[in-house]
Amino acid sequence: MNRRKVEQLIQARPLWGSNGMAFGPDGRLYVAQFLAGQISAVDLATGDVEVVVPSDGPLHAPDDLAFDTDGAMYVTDLVPGRVWRRDPAGGFMLVTDEITAPNGIACVGTRVFANEMIPGGRLLELSPAGDEPTVLTTGLAMGNAMQLGPDGQLYYPHMLTGEVFRIPLDGGDPELVAADVPDPVAVRFDRGGALLVLSRGASGIVTRVDLAGTGDRSAIVSELNALDNAAFDADNRMFVSSYAHGGVAELMADGRTRQIVPRGLGGPFGVTIDLGGGIHVADHYRLTQPADQQGEADQQGEADQQGEADQSGEDVTTTQLLNFVHGVAADGDLLHTTSQYGHVRTYDRRSGTVRTRASGLNRPLGIAVRTDGTLVVAESGAGRVVAIDHDDQVSVLVEGLGRPVDVAVDADQRCYISDERLAAVYHVEDGVPRLLADGLGTPQGITVYNGTVYVVETTHRRLLAIDLATGDVEIEADSLPVASAAGLTRPEPDLFIPPGLPGIPRPFAGIAAAGDGSLIIAANGDGSVLRVNPEESAP
């Protein structure tokens, strides 16, 4: 039995992010989930969500999908560079693995088209029979979601340049349709043939373009930001997804919204607590905090430039859209963050500015800050812990580790490390790791409070307490959703990832200690954030 009472501060997610989506032959809305490596089907009448392709299936990073007229579903698997065909019976066939970062996909009858989300990318027609893809055009400035227009041409965005182009299905010279479109991520047509372009940024804009000859534009502005994709049902209702927030919402022509599937966290990863007791969560595409503490944050004068207490049922507030944020440590008005793709950055909550502190590190994860402002970072890919000083100079604190995941600093500025490969927890003395506990099951998040080191042990889905005076290890809570459900594994692929493109983030169940002795845990097994209260549960 748990010694401590565990409660949810942020609810579990129905969808693990939401990216490409399309209506299937059964009338349900199918949603690709890049971070989860899975596809779910949504019943729009009830909001029920069914996982139809689980995380242990053939997909690693599905980003977009489309159905042909035979009912087959085609999926772009972005990170491995693959496109798959799923037949109506559920069987998978690899269509091609010769595309770099395939993203946008469209079906016209039984013809299949895909583009590449890279600078200088290609737009191709694919062969379900396995023949070489046909290149329609090159030079895409990061392609994404595309669709056949009423004129029989294929429309697609250039994400980097803010442009929309069209091209005949058999190739030819692309024609510019619209320029100066804010952050275009998806091109969609409603049932009346109107062109709508979704924006991926913080503005929440959908641009409507008149293709009848005037070129006039109008904007649909809502509280929904970080848009990713859209689909129209038979009644011309528009449903949209969000790469950062997840969920599915209906977006009206006047900007009003109706949430069908609640939003939720895409991770979560690291978690930290500031001096005022505010909780901050690193969630891959954004920094967040529980929505019920937003009022306190506003009184403290935080910028919260992206934040809105969500009107869509989400129980978190976005502090800042910040791509690829995984570890986080609070330091006054500063939030220091890591990205598994090599960066350490500092976000100033008052000014809204972001400063890069280090780049080119090998998969940095956990981060802590000393009282003098020095950052301590677990560089998991290099098997070491580094320090970053005020002048952004990087030095090595300890090396020769396996895969350090998280770090913590106590009141005396001693450093503690969790190492999931060595299944151990260490403290550092004179640059040497000294063993505190070993034989653990994938230890990840670590924090120290009042003479005790707390560790999230993800293999056994439990919270451990290590007494620094005696070395005793006790179980504080178990059956925590800090890893995938038993029996469901998602092997990390051995893939070549082109420079500049993100891979699949490694799970990271962070933990932080509050001033009252309660512990906050980022439970990425189900997308919740937990509070482990200091009081013992009744027997």
Instruction: Give the pLDDT confidence score for residue 510 in this predicted structure.
Output: 97
pTM: 0.90
Cα separation, 248 vs 258, whole angstroms? 9
Instruction: Give the pLDDT confidence score for residue 370 in this predicted structure.
Output: 96
Instruction: Give the pLDDT confidence score for residue 430 in this predicted structure.
Output: 87
Instruction: Give the pLDDT confidence score for residue 213 in this predicted structure.
Output: 65
Instruction: Give the pLDDT confidence score for residue 479 in this predicted structure.
Output: 93
Q: What is the mean pLDDT of the chain?
A: 90
Secondary structure element (H or E) that encloses residue 509, with its range: none
Render the burial of 351-371: b for 16+ CB within 10 Å, e for the rest: eeeeeebbeebebbbbbbbee
3-state secondary structure of 135: strand
The residue among 225, 226, 232 whose CA lies nearest residue 253 is 232
Instruction: Give the pLDDT confidence score for residue 500 in this predicted structure.
Output: 57
Residues 6+ apart with CB under 8 A from 10: 264, 265, 268, 281, 290, 315, 316, 527, 528, 529
Average the pLDDT over 85-106 and give the result: 95
Cα separation, 493 vs 61, whole angstroms? 10
The answer, yes or no, to whether residue 320 has pLDDT greater than 80, is yes
Between 313 and 445, residue with greater pLDDT:
445
pLDDT digits over 110-136, tens only? Answer: 999 999 999 999 999 999 887 899 999
Alpha helical stretches, state H, 230-343: 294-299
pLDDT digits over 469-504, tens only? Answer: 999 999 999 999 998 654 444 445 455 555 556 677
Instruction: Give the pLDDT confidence score for residue 416 in this predicted structure.
Output: 98
pLDDT digits over 249-261, tens only? Answer: 999 999 999 999 9
Residue 293 φ/ψ, nearest 5 degrees: -105, 5
Instruction: Give the pLDDT confidence score for residue 293 in this predicted structure.
Output: 73
pLDDT digits over 174-193, tens only? Answer: 999 999 999 999 999 999 89
Ordered structural domains, the chain, with CATH: 15-261 (2.120.10.30), 271-491+504-532 (2.120.10.30)
Return the percentage of the chain with pLDDT > 90, whole number.
78
Cα separation, 497 vs 479, whole angstroms? 35
pLDDT digits over 401-423, tens only? Answer: 999 999 999 999 999 999 999 99
Q: Strand pairing partners for 378?
A: 385
Residue type at 348 in one-letter notation:
D
The answer, yes or no, to whether residue 140 has pLDDT greater than 50, is yes
Average the pLDDT over 344-357 and give the result: 96
Instruction: Give the pLDDT confidence score for residue 431 in this predicted structure.
Output: 87
Instruction: Give the pLDDT confidence score for residue 173 in this predicted structure.
Output: 92
The residue among 410, 418, 422, 424 whose CA lies nearest residue 452 is 410
Using only C-alpha atoms, the chain has a radius of gyration, in whole angstroms, of 24
Average the pLDDT over 35-39 and give the result: 92
Residue 399, number of CB atoms within 10 A of its CB: 14
The answer, yes or no, to whether residue 5 has pLDDT greater than 80, is yes
Instruction: Give the pLDDT confidence score for residue 499 in this predicted structure.
Output: 58
Instruction: Give the pLDDT confidence score for residue 13 in this predicted structure.
Output: 86
Cα separation, 380 vs 102, whole angstroms? 28
The answer, yes or no, to whether residue 299 has pLDDT greater than 50, is no
Q: Strand pairing partners for 387?
A: 376, 395
Average the pLDDT over 334-352 and give the result: 95
